[in-house]
Structure 1
Amino acid sequence: MAQIEITSHFMVPPRIIYQCLNDPERLTALMQSPVQYKAEIGSKFVLFGGAVSGEIIDLKVNEKIVYKWRFNSWPDGKYSHVEITLTEGEDGDDETDLTLVQSDIEQKDIMRTENGWKMIYFERMKKMFGY
């Protein structure tokens, strides 16, 4: 099993990033596919037409999101652990530093997972915000 850590800087406040990652309409726009997602601890979610699924383990408004997360190609019951932390940027509360740590990833899916977060989530979010 493997782990990835990704950091990304956004020129919007943490509350905007938190909303974007927890609002089904924004997630649908971001992923360009339907999602089943409700921002509640214990709620199960389905993304990318079923290619990814999981469960919300913890939410701290505007600060942290924790998931059990899996590709549908993984063995039944096999999940990775995702923790997304949002902090105010060094230049103040109008910016966000995001850190994502995902552990227990199938070795063969490291690049696919890391590229998905970077390109589908973070780069598209920046474009949505106009930069």
Structure 2
Amino acid sequence: MKDYKKYYSIPATPDEIYMALTNPITIELWTGEVAEMSTEPGSEFSMWEGSITGKNLEFEPGKKIVQQWYFDGQSDNSIVTIKLHADKQGTSAELRHTNIPDDDFDDLVDGWNNSYFGALTEFFEGE
């Protein structure tokens, strides 16, 4: 199991980023895919046609999102924590993803950098 931590600079306010990560309609705008998402702790979510699924654990509007991501056959909880901090460019998004299966690590890092935060950054840069 591995952990991953990275900061992403996104040209939007923390509230705008929070909305883009928690509202299923906004998620669809930047991913191009239908998403199931709720800010109700304990609710399940699904993105990218089910390639990312899990449970929503904690929300702090405009500041923090905590989720458990599911991996087949994994007994340890894989926890994603995203903290949003205002900065000069807009928002510094702090990502911490724990207990990533070794076999999934490289693909997951690529997904975070390109499909997830990469696409989110492009979405706000294009506005």
TM over 0.5: yes
Identity %, equivalent residues:
24
Q: What secondary structure is seen at the aligned counterpart in 1 of 2:41?
A: coil
**Corresponding residue number in structure 2 for 1:86:** 84
Instruction: Provide the secondary structure at the position in 1 that maps to 2:36.
Output: coil
CA shift in 2, pair 1:77/1:30, >3 Å: farther
2:106 maps to which of 104, 111, 116 = 111
Pairs within 5 Å for 1:1-131: 1-71=1-71, 74-75=72-73, 79-89=77-87, 91=88, 95-130=90-125
CA contact (8 A) 1:70 1:78 kept: no
Q: Which of 76-85 and 21-30 deviates more?
A: 76-85
Alpha-carbon distance in structure 2 between the residues aligned to 1:112 and 1:8: 18
What is the Cα-based RMSD across aligned positions, in Å? 1.6
Deviation at 1:79, TM superposition (A): 3.7
Structure 1 position 78, deviation (Å): 5.2
TM-score by length of 1: 0.88
Conserved 8 A contact 1:2-1:105: yes
Q: TM-score when scaled to structure 2?
A: 0.90
Q: Give the unaligned 5+ runs of structure 1.
A: none
Q: Determine the C-alpha separation between the residues in 1 that align with 2:6 and 2:30.
A: 18
How many Å apart are 1:32 and its aligned residue? 2.1
Alpha-carbon separation, structure 2, partners of 1:28 and 1:60: 21
Give structure 2 stretches of 5+ with no counterpart: none
How much has 1:66 moved relative to structure 2? 0.1
Distance in 1 between residues matched to 2:8 and 2:124, nearest whole Å? 14
Aligned mates of 2:98, 2:121 — CA distance in 1: 25
**Number of residue pairs matched?**
126
Q: State the alpha-carbon separation in 1 of the partners of residues 14 and 93 from structure 2.
A: 8
